[in-house]
């Protein structure tokens, strides 16, 4: 392997054992980051970008290599249905796996498998377009939202969620000072798309039932039902699960125009946009 050429005098192509050792020693001593300075300070004839990639995809101590388990494979397929080619996001749910590895695995194997699977479609039930009342917490598997929000531009709100059964949870952001109720907006957007979360909670998705297995930053309300907040970089995800399965809310707060993308495990479901403001940290109250 290797495309060893010399561009501006820098080495390219496969890393040698010696280079790996130098980089590993350097990162252990000085930590990650400032990759632009790494080659010079570590004495490597590589660009910083190459060093970063080598560390993140290969040298990191917590990396799991090869032997993707059936559970991981299933999770990748399902997350790909949900998220598309957002490899970094998918990798974030598979501890020890890198986006590059998952991307390669998908491109060489899973895309074919997934395509085959689609042809022999046993399929979930078709997407229901019926409107289901959302705010009845006593209804089994029904999820209700009460969201208090000052405005889209203000980053403080309260997010109350009732899950019945198994539990009722209240989520409060650290600074919930100035608030304004936007629950009507939220619910309205659900109804505008004629979506009911409860329609999807019976989907079989056992791998994600226990989010502790997959999320590094999560807060599990209960063993089989609850709300998970996951922060990956400056992007955040909010997931909902119940004892019958789970629905996903995937707020993407990375842009100037914060949008709540709601994908409920249906590949052709599209996205439901609802204004949601950014948040840095949640805590379970």
Site for DNA in 156-175 (CB under 7 A): none
Q: Which stretch binds DNA (CB under 7 A): 82-90, 121-129, 130-138, 186-194?
A: 82-90
Q: Which residue among 25, 41, 57, 96 contacts DNA (CB under 7 A)?
A: 57
| Position among 30, 128, 234, 281 found at the interface with DNA (CB under 7 A) | 234
| Candidate list 26, 39, 75, 101; residue touching DNA; CB under 7 A | 101
Which residues make Cβ contacts (< 8 Å) with residue 238, sequence separation at least 6? 227, 228, 229, 230, 249, 250, 251
Q: At CA 97, angle to CA 238 and CA 19, rounded to 5? A: 135
Q: Could you tell me the CA-to-CA distances from 80 to 28, 73, 91, 278 in Å, in that order?
A: 33, 10, 10, 24
Q: How far is CA 223 from CA 113, 136, 164, 181, in A?
A: 32, 22, 14, 30
Chain-centroid distance of CA 129 in Å reads 26
Ramachandran category for residue 115: left, alpha or beta (phi over 0 → left; psi -120 to 50 → alpha):
alpha
- Nearer to DNA by C-beta: 22 or 134? 22
Q: Is the separation of the CB atoms in 233 and 167 below 8 Å?
A: no
Which residue stretch of 145-153, 167-175, 205-213, 254-262 sits at the interface with DNA (rule: CB under 7 A)? 254-262
> Near DNA by CB under 7 A, which window of 130-138, 139-147, 158-166, 250-258?
250-258
> Of 9-17, 181-189, 190-198, 262-270, which part binds DNA (CB under 7 A)?
9-17
Binding residue for DNA, selected from 2, 61, 70, 126, defined by CB under 7 A: 2
When binding is defined by CB under 7 A, the residue of 26, 72, 76, 105 that contacts DNA is 105
Nearer to DNA, 7 or 130 (CB): 7
How many CB atoms are closer than 10 A to CB 170? Answer: 14
Would you call 241 helix, strand, or coil by DSSP? strand
88 binds DNA (CB under 7 A): yes
Site for DNA in 17-56 (CB under 7 A): 33-37, 46, 48-50, 52-54, 56
Is the peptide bond prior to 165 cis by the omega test (within 30 degrees of 0)? yes
Min dist CB 161 to DNA, Å, is: 27
Q: Applying CB under 7 A, which of residues 9, 31, 70, 233 lies at the interface with DNA? A: 233
Tokens coding 107: 């491109």
The torsion angles phi and psi of 153, rounded to 5 degrees, stand at -85, -10
Neighbours of 117 (CB within 10 A): 12
Binding characters for DNA, 116-155, by CB under 7 A (x = yes)? ----------------------------------------
Could you list the residues that contact DNA (CB under 7 A)? 1-3, 7, 11-15, 33-37, 46, 48-50, 52-54, 56-58, 65-66, 85-89, 99-101, 103-105, 107-109, 232-234, 254-256
């Amino acid at each position: 392997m290797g495309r060893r050429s010399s561009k501006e005098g820098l080495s390219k192509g496969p890393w040698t054992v010696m280079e790996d050792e130098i980089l590993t020693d350097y990162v252990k001593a000085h930590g990650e980051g400032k990759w632009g300075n790494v080659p010079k300070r570590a004495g490597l004839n590589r660009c910083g970008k190459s060093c970063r990639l080598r560390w993140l995809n290969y040298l990191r101590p917590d990396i799991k290599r090869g032997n993707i388990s059936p559970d991981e494979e299933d999770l990748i397929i399902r997350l790909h249905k949900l998220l598309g080619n957002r490899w970094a996001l998918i990798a974030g749910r598979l501890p020890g796996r890198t986006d590059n590895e998952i991307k390669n695995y998908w491109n060489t194997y899973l895309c074919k498998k997934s395509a085959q699977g689609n042809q022999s479609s046993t399929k979930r039930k078709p997407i229901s377009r019926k409107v289901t009342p959302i705010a009845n917490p006593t209804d089994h598997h029904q999820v209700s939202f009460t969201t208090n929000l000052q405005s889209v531009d203000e980053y403080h709100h309260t997010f109350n969620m009732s899950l019945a059964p198994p539990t009722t949870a209240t989520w409060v952001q650290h600074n919930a000072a100035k608030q304004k109720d936007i629950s009507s907006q939220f619910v309205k957007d659900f109804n505008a798309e004629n979506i009911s979360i409860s329609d999807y909670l019976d989907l079989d998705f056992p791998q994600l039932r226990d989010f502790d297995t997959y999320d590094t930053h999560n807060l599990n309300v209960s063993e089989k039902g609850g709300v998970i907040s996951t922060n990956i970089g400056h992007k955040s995800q909010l997931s909902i699960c119940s004892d019958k399965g789970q629905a996903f809310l995937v707020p993407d707060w990375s842009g100037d125009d914060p949008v709540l993308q709601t994908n409920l495990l249906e590949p052709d479901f599209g996205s439901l946009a609802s204004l949601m403001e950014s948040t840095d940290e949640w805590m379970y109250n």
